[in-house]
Amino acid sequence: MSSTLLKYREALPSDSAEISRLVKVYVDDEEFLSYLRYCLEGTAYGSSLGFVAETEEGKLAGFTLFREGLHFTEERNDYFDIIRRDAGSGKIWSSVIVVTDEKSMRRGLGLELFSKTADRLKEKGVNCVLMEIWVRSTGWKPAWGLVRKYPWKTLKVYGTVRNFYSEAPGRENYVCHVCGHPCRCSVEVTVGTF
């Protein structure tokens, strides 16, 4: 993978199978994958936006997906009132996911994909982005390194929601690839502004 030239382009609904392949390594959960497919469909209507890094063979090495409005990947709304109040009349989008395949990690791919998407949102007049920063039960925050590198105007952590996934409504049976069951991963609710 490392020697192959990568092409960056916007994500499309037809990327669904490749995106599921990449995500399954980390979250092999049909409910989550079907939520991602739903968000990916939104790229056809302008309600979602993402970028993919594609190899010459048509395989994806990574992707991002963002969604219009204030949404977590689970049905929760922690901190939404205060985030809305801070945003005022500004347009808010939410980051759904950023993933690179294991062979392509730590080569700047995640940051490139994330930056391309954020830059495009900024051009579209979006004012702020909600990010659900996954805090694994080990304390490791895989996406924090790239999120803090993006040149935000402001970057604010609103707080941590413990057991974010396992205590979401209807998710008692959620199995995490890091913790198993029950999942003890948390989320840092973070907002970046342009």
Locus of tokens 């490392």 = 2
Those residues whose C-beta lies under 8 Å from the C-beta of residue 6, and which sit 6 or more positions away, are: 53, 54, 55, 61, 109
Binding site partner of 179, from ligand COA, Zn ion, none, Cβ cut-off 5-8 A by kind: Zn ion
Nearer to ligand COA, 11 or 143 (CB): 143
Going from the C-alpha of 96 to that of each of 19, 39, 57, 64, 69, the distances in angstroms are: 13, 8, 26, 8, 11
Contact by Cβ (8 Å): 4, 104: no
Binding site partner of 142, from ligand COA, Zn ion, none, Cβ cut-off 5-8 A by kind: ligand COA
Those residues whose C-beta lies under 8 Å from the C-beta of residue 105, and which sit 6 or more positions away, are: none
Binding site partner of 185, from ligand COA, Zn ion, none, Cβ cut-off 5-8 A by kind: Zn ion
Binding site for Zn ion (CB under 5 A): 176, 178-179, 183, 185
**Beta carbon of residue 101, minimum distance to ligand COA (angstroms, whole number):** 8
Binding site partner of 97, from Zn ion, ligand COA, none, Cβ cut-off 5-8 A by kind: ligand COA
Binding site for ligand COA (CB under 6 A): 26, 97-100, 105-111, 134, 142-143, 145-146, 149
